[in-house]
Amino acid sequence: MISIRSPQQLGDALRAARKQLGLTQPQLALAAGVGVRFIVDLEAGKPTLRLENVLRVIDALGGEVQLSGLPSVAADDQREGADHAA
C-alpha cells in the first residue's frame, strides 16, 4: 500500500500502475469509461478532477481506495450519509 497526500502523488502512482500493467492511456481510458484527456490530466496531478471518474480509473487498474487514520464509520452512519446524497 502506498500513501497519497497530493494529486501529483496520485497521478504518479496511477501512471506507474498503468505502465506496470502494460496499458496505454487510451486503453486505460476505454477500460475505465473515461476520456483520454481525463487520464492525461489525472496522471499530471490536476487537482480538480471528478472523484467518480478517479475511482473508475483506480478500479480499472485493479486498485481500491482505503482510508486510514480516520474514525470508523458505523453502518447507521453510512446509511444516513446515503440519505443526504439523494
* CA distance readout (Å), 36 to 1, 24, 31, 70: 26, 10, 11, 33
Residue 47 pLDDT > 60 = yes
Show the domains of the chain with their CATH numbers.
7-85 (1.10.260.40)
pLDDT category at 84 given cuts 50, 70, 90 is low
> What pLDDT does residue 72 have?
84
* CA dist., res. 54 & res. 24, Å (int): 17
Q: 85 vs 70, which has greater pLDDT?
A: 70
Q: Encode pLDDT of 2-19 as tens digits.
A: 889 999 999 999 999 999
Tell me the whole-structure pTM to 2 decimals.
0.80
Q: 61 vs 83, which has greater pLDDT?
A: 61
* CA distance readout (Å), 68 to 63, 72, 80: 16, 9, 21
Which residue blocks in 1-86 are alpha helix, DSSP H?
A: 7-20, 25-32, 36-43, 51-60, 75-85
Residue 44 pLDDT > 90 = yes
